[in-house]
Structure formats: C-alpha cells, structure tokens
Amino acid sequence: MTASELPEQALDGELEPQKPLAEPFLPFEISISESDLRQLSPALLAYLGDAVFELYVRQSLLLPPKRIRNYHQEVVSKVRAEAQLDYLQTLMPYLTEAECEVVRRGRNATTTRSRRAAPDVYQQASALETLIGYLYLTDRSRLSHLFSLLTLDLPSSPSS
C-alpha cells in the first residue's frame, strides 16, 4: 500500500488505535517429519523462533501508523531478552508438558552469551524462541493461541 492509498487520517496521524490482527500471519507452511524435527537442535529452533517472534511483534504494532524510527524502537523493546523473559513467564502456566520440555531443552542448550542481557535472562529468552520455532514447525494453531495470550503492552526495557 502506498501513501496515496492510505486513509487521509492515517497520513495526519489521527487514526484511532486498532486491535491487533486476530490471527497472526505465519508464512510458509512447512511439512516436517518427526524424524527431521528431532534432528534440529534447540539453537536452530531458537534461530527460527527469533525471526517468527519478531515478525509477530512487527505485525502487531503496525497500527496506528507511526514514524519508522519510533516503530523500530518499539519493536526492539518488545523483542529484547528481558521482554521475552516476561512473555515466557506469562505463557508458562498455559504450556503442556511437551511444550515445557521444549522450553527446558531450549534453556539448557544456550551456550552463547549476550553482551546486553544477564546469562539467565538470555537463557530464558532463548527458551521462548525455541518454543516458538518448534510450534511454528509443528502446530501453527497452537502458536497462534499462545501469541493471543501475550499482551505487547508490557513495560519496555530502556534501550542500551
């Protein structure tokens, strides 16, 4: 959509805030066998989950329209390790035993260190990303349900 196709109010910045899209856009349906899935490391699932989560956050924050810089800062604040730790804590009571096992594997597999987050925070954030990557490959409807339980209105961490 080009600027000329946007409603007049959107260009003036007076568009009323709208609810996030009901169903997150999760592109590229992938069919993966159980044996192939078992070959994927938690780190690889976290790598995929990181991208899926950022796409979800970007999509959720599209409306109301804002300047790209402000949009970017808001997205970054929501995908930081500290925010992901909060999101994981929100989801934990709703996870199945199998999902808790994926979280545990993701947390325990983290070997790299973040320059910006404490090791335990980084491990928990990686655990959330591992779960998201796993569900993206295995159960999109469950992933959508868990996303619907999140509120992106959690306090933002200050940028470093």
C-alpha–C-alpha distance, residues 48 and 32, integer Å: 14
Instruction: Give the list of residues 6+ apart from residue 144 with CB closer than 8 angstroms, or none.
Output: 23, 24, 26
Q: Comparing C-alpha atoms, which of 140, 154, 141 is closest to residue 48?
A: 140
The identity of residue 105, as a single letter, is R
In three-state secondary structure terms, 81 is helix
50 is catalytic: yes
- The residue from 12, 50, 120, 153 that is catalytic is 50
CB neighbours of residue 107 within 10 Å: 21
Judging by beta carbons within 10 Å of its beta carbon (0-12, 13-18, 19+), is residue 144 exposed, middle or buried?
Answer: middle
C-alpha–C-alpha distance, residues 12 and 16, integer Å: 11
Query: Active-site positions?
Result: 50
